[in-house]
């Protein structure tokens, strides 16, 4: 069983993960609209991954006999001025999510909830990967600058994501 405080915090994180999914889906839609199909594909897969994270938390709360309370999620932006801007925003968003996950771990430790602290370690490791991947794409986009050739090479590379 989890404490009421932990239950509330996990429900809040479920909302954040759903927003992440929604945000990346909006980014995918924008990228598709500007004919960057590889970028759009990458973001759509990322959206699905964030949905999986939300459901992983959802299932855990249920397994711990907690109550799920789904809150409304905010509307993400629908337009950006460049792929670099999108990935910089994605990177900042992942940093925010990492901070939220770290706070959940801190709360689990404070609550002496070893099961939840252990469960959350998967998310801690996942966030390291999420931040590194977004930072790498930002770096590549900065390297190609205004080169359309470079942009299309990155687009093709991102389109290969499984």
CA distance 46 to 129: 12
> What is the reported pLDDT for 158?
98
- Residues 28 and 43: beta-carbon distance below 8 Å: yes
Our count of domains for the chain comes to: 1
44's tokens: 């759509």
pLDDT digits (tens, 9 = 90+) for 26-52: 999 999 999 999 999 999 999 999 999
- Residues 84 and 138: beta-carbon distance below 8 Å: yes
Rounded to 5 degrees, what are φ and ψ at 158? -65, -30
- The one-character DSSP state at 160 is T
CA distance 157 to 42: 9
> What is the reported pLDDT for 58?
98
CA distance 56 to 155: 30
Domain that holds residue 127: 4-158
- Residues 102 and 153: beta-carbon distance below 8 Å: no
| Section 20-25 average pLDDT | 98
> What is the reported pLDDT for 21?
98
The secondary structure of the chain in percent helix, strand, coil, rounded to multiples of 5, reads 80, 0, 20
- Short-list 58, 53, 62, CA closest to 125: 53
3-state SS assignment for residue 73 = coil
Q: How many residues does the chain have?
A: 162
| Section 110-135 average pLDDT | 98
> What is the reported pLDDT for 117?
98
For the domain that residue 120 is a member of, what is the CATH number?
Answer: 1.20.1260.10
pLDDT digits (tens, 9 = 90+) for 72-111: 999 999 999 999 999 999 999 999 999 999 999 999 999 9
> What is the reported pLDDT for 49?
98
> What is the reported pLDDT for 1?
86
106's tokens: 């801190």
């Amino acid at each position: 069983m989890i404490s009421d405080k932990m239950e509330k915090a996990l429900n809040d994180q479920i909302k954040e993960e759903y927003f992440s999914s929604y945000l990346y889906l909006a980014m995918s839609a924008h990228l598709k609209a500007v004919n960057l199909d590889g970028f759009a594909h990458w973001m759509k897969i990322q959206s699905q991954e964030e949905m999986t994270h939300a459901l992983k938390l959802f299932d855990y709360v249920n397994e711990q006999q907690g109550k799920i309370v789904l809150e409304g999620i905010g509307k993400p932006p629908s337009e950006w001025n460049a792929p670099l801007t999108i990935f910089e925003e994605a990177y900042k968003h992942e940093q925010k999510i990492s901070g939220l996950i770290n706070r959940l771990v801190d709360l689990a430790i404070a609550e002496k909830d070893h099961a939840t602290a252990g469960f959350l370690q998967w998310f801690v490791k996942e966030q390291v990967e999420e931040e590194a991947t977004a930072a790498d794409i930002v770096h590549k986009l900065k390297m190609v600058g205004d080169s359309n050739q470079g942009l299309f090479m990155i687009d093709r590379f991102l389109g290969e994501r499984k």
